[in-house]
Amino acid sequence: MIKKVILIGLLTVGSMALRAQELSAEDKTDLTNTISQFLKHTKNLDFGAIVDMSYPKIFELATKEQMLEILNGLTAMGFELSYDSITSQEPVLVAENDSIKYALINYYSEMVMKITNEELRNEESINLLKLSLANTGGVNSIDYVEERSSLVIKGNKRLLAIKDNSYGPQWTAIEFDVNNAVLNSMLIPTSVLTKISEFIKNN
């Protein structure tokens, strides 16, 4: 009898913990709209809008102007980006405290990187590009399509949406790459990173 009472108690606590990790209806609506817009801007390569919706803490590491310079500089380097497809899953609340909420969003993308610089259209350069891109988290396959002079990068990737009241009531987002531990540690508390890692491992 005592064991049964303890078991019921543990199940009740577990159920409460699960409910605590659910998004409110208002948060879910706001976040769904935010992610929809963020991915729309990503597909349209609207870098200005992407930067405006990014988690503001990242601008302590690089200014908006510096980020836009890097993103827009891809064209000058000899690359033209486009997306064939971007689809996302439901956001999941993975951590929260009194002032910050963190939600993880899995999404699938097919990105096309056209090589406009003819000097880079050789086997050595293409293999180096493939190697560099392969080290990015979530990349499943990279194929070079010669008739398009393009690399097609397919992958299951993640966004981390953050609602940080110190920056305002809105949800913001950043690309979350598990392989980029240094950047992650600069933006996200260790306790939250641990919860995210546990969630990814179990889902």
More confident residue, 36 or 18: 36
Closest to 76 in 3D by CA, of 113, 41, 48, 116:
116
Quick: pLDDT tens for 167-200: 999 999 999 998 899 999 999 999 999 999 999 9
Report how far residue 68's alpha carbon sits from residue 74's, in angstroms, rounded to the nearest whole number. 10
**Entry pTM:** 0.85
Q: Which two tokens stand for residue 52?
A: 């405006």
Give the span between the Cα atoms of 108 and 87, in whole angstroms: 5
Q: Which pLDDT tens digit goes with each residue over 13-32?
A: 333 333 336 889 999 999 99
What are the phi and psi torsion angles at 54 (to 5°)?
A: -80, 155
Phi/psi at 170 (5° precision): -85, 155
Selected from 3.30.420.40, 3.40.630.10, 3.10.450.100, 3.40.50.720, the CATH number assigned to the domain covering 24-202 reads 3.10.450.100
Residue spans of the domains in the chain: they are 24-202
